[in-house]
Chain A
Amino acid sequence: MKNQLKVLRAGKGWTQEQLGDALGVSRQAVNALETEKHDPSLDLAFRIAALFEKPVEDIFENPHS
């Protein structure tokens, strides 16, 4: 799923490890999200949205719209 995660993370100056720690997931999971190898669960998508204080659809492109 296309997303802005890498841009948002870079904007905060965080490493993948630091973002993973903030979200409670592994660095591998962050990398998989950024490289579109993993579609997040609704729960993880909302956690990411809350962390960056943005709506989910500003971070993840809705593939059905």
Chain B
Amino acid sequence: MLSIGKQNTSAGRKYVVRTVAFMSGYVAVNVAAIFGAFDDIEETPAAWALALTVSAPVIGQIWATLSLMRDSDEFVRAVTAKAFILASGLAMAIATMWGFGESYADAPHIPAWIIYPLFWGCFGAVAPFIRSSR
């Protein structure tokens, strides 16, 4: 996740700072949840507020990644976009296959939020092979 901001540019540095900030928030909320800070929440609006709170840093990190593409030079933008598109397709394919596995083959249920770490796993797998903007 952090490796795509490694180019020594203003856009790369901003991306690293934003990613660290958003992921720190994400970890903090989840650690608080693990230690029971939100165990008393039962009402639906409050539970959805909690879900949005946990999701917000992830949404922020997606924004940071898209901002990196917007602010980078044309080569970095092209290779990052290629990796992003390939990783998105791969993650959607895996999630779809697993979803139908749950429907038809009694595969164990996996929560939908797994798509985000799955996407970054796919990104890490495809990025080393993308060396050209073509």
Taking beta carbons and an 8 Å cutoff, which residues of A are in contact with B?
Answer: 24-29, 32-33, 37-41, 44
Contact = CB atoms under 8 A, between A and B. Distances in A.
A40 B7 CA distance: 19
A33 B131 CA distance: 12
B8 A40 contact: no
Given A25-B75, A38-B78, A32 B7 contact: no
A29 B8 contact: no
Given A25-B73, A25-B75, A29-B75, 10 more contacts: A24-B73, A26-B7, A26-B8, A26-B12, A26-B76, A33-B75, A39-B133, A39-B134, A40-B74, A41-B74
Contacts of B131: 32, 37
A26 B74 CA distance: 9
A28 B133 contact: no
A32 B9 CA distance: 16
B7 A37 contact: no
B60 to A, nearest CB: 24
Nearest to B130: A37
B67 interface: no
A25 B7 CA distance: 11
A32 B12 CA distance: 17
Contacts of A39: 133-134
Contacts of A33: 75
B132 A38 contact: yes
Interface string B74-112: 111010000000000000000000000000000000000
Nearest to A31: B75
B30 interface: no
13 contacts: A25-B73, A25-B75, A26-B8, A26-B73, A26-B76, A28-B7, A29-B74, A32-B131, A33-B75, A37-B133, A38-B74, A38-B75, A40-B74
